[in-house]
Amino acid sequence: MTKEKLRDAFFEVFGGTEEPVLVFSPGRVNLIGEHIDYNGGRVFPCALTMGTWFAGRKREDKLLRIYSENFKDLGIVERSSEALSCDPDKGFTNYPAGLIWTFRKNGLKIPCGMDVYLSGNIPYASGLSSSASVEVGMGLLLSELFGLEVLPEDIALFSQYSENNFNGLNCGIMDQFVIAMGKKDCAVYLDTASLAYEYAPVKLEGVKLVIGCTNKKRGLTDSKYNERRAECEEALSLLQKAADIQSLCELSLTDYEDLAFLLEKENLKKRVRHVVSENERVRKAVEALRQGDLELFGKLMNESHVSLRDDYEVTGIELDTLTEKAWKVEGCLGARMTGAGFGGCNVALVKDEAVEDFIRAVGDAYKEKIGYEAGFYTAEIGDGVHVM
């Protein structure tokens, strides 16, 4: 969306003459490293050119008015900007409201209400981080509107805190961090334990990133996401009886094999095996990309999906159908689920000349087995959140 279209859309909804602040906040796709950002692991996500557009301006009263082009039927949703709490009846507005709540908890002054317009092209509930896109975008909007000196890293941390404590999802830091810190044509190699990071150029010469969306709607707080995190915390407490570790990803595969006897429950053994092996796959995948070895990178993507399917058990028939069919299509170097799972999206590396055949073959197989169509997007890697 251009600045002019965004500005015009804001005035059409809210009227007035005072110019709004304009912000773009991307979605993200994680190339590899799933369900380890809350286990102290290394992840490898990138920001996308699809995302959420914001236009906002301050009001003279305490009223918070939010309109989303994606939920037109709701009209302008009004709520007080004071004494905020997560209200199920307020739907998507809980995400921007949570940022106001979090900013104030951190001593930052938000003295008045505001009018906020949103429009996004991230498929809803797709696993491409629409909620984190809204959170980080709102964080930058608040910073700009109220003249607050908040670093991008802090906006990421505030956004994660809001999702954990206002909206009730125990997510890790990955989504918010890459949306805040993303860089065009690069992925972020992030150590989630220390927040140390580096940019790794993603040179996909002759290859496209193709995202397949299952179109299965799911809410993460209603899924087994929090259950998986609780299982990892239980396993960590048991392993700490014999190992001086603060997170599961401090373990090597050899360490895991030596200590697995402490995990009497089979489900805990499987969860830890995924976490430790996935952390190792990320290291190998980043090195493969640096060497220009896309074939190896694709192979590691495939292994990641198998681990998420068999050991972490977060895929389901929709994601497995999309991904396992992708593996069989000539020209596909690798494919895996991305995001939290339980629906959402997968991501595939596909040779340029094979993209059309790939989408047709995988799409046909998916509709035949699942009964409804998948969506496909050729993704480009873009910059993190920014003022337009």
Clarify whether 293 is annotated catalytic.
no
Q: Please, what is the angle between helix 294-310 and helix 266-290, to 10°?
A: 170
**Cα 356 to chain centroid, rounded:** 26
Which phi and psi (to 5°) does residue 383 adopt? Answer: -80, 165
249 contact partners, CB below 8 Å, separation of at least 6: 36, 39, 40, 41, 42, 193, 275, 276, 279
Amino acid at 323: T
CA nearest to 119, candidates 59, 217, 51, 176:
51
DSSP code per residue over 70-89: GGGGG-SEEEESSS----GG
Residue 334 CB neighbours (<10 A): 26
Do residues 67 and 54 touch, judged by C-beta distance below 8 A?
A: no
CA nearest to 41, candidates 141, 223, 152, 189:
189
116 contact partners, CB below 8 Å, separation of at least 6: 54, 55, 56, 64, 65, 66, 67, 96, 138, 141
For residue 209, give Cα distances in angstroms to 49, 156, 333. 12, 25, 10
Do residues 281 and 300 touch, judged by C-beta distance below 8 A?
A: yes
For residue 285, give Cα distances in angstroms to 74, 85, 200, 281, 301. 44, 41, 11, 6, 8
Tokens representing 123 are 């498929």
Do residues 43 and 190 touch, judged by C-beta distance below 8 A?
A: yes
Place of tokens 């790794």: 200
Do residues 10 and 372 touch, judged by C-beta distance below 8 A?
A: no
Q: Which of 37, 175, 311, 320 is catalytic?
A: 175
Active site residue ranges: 175
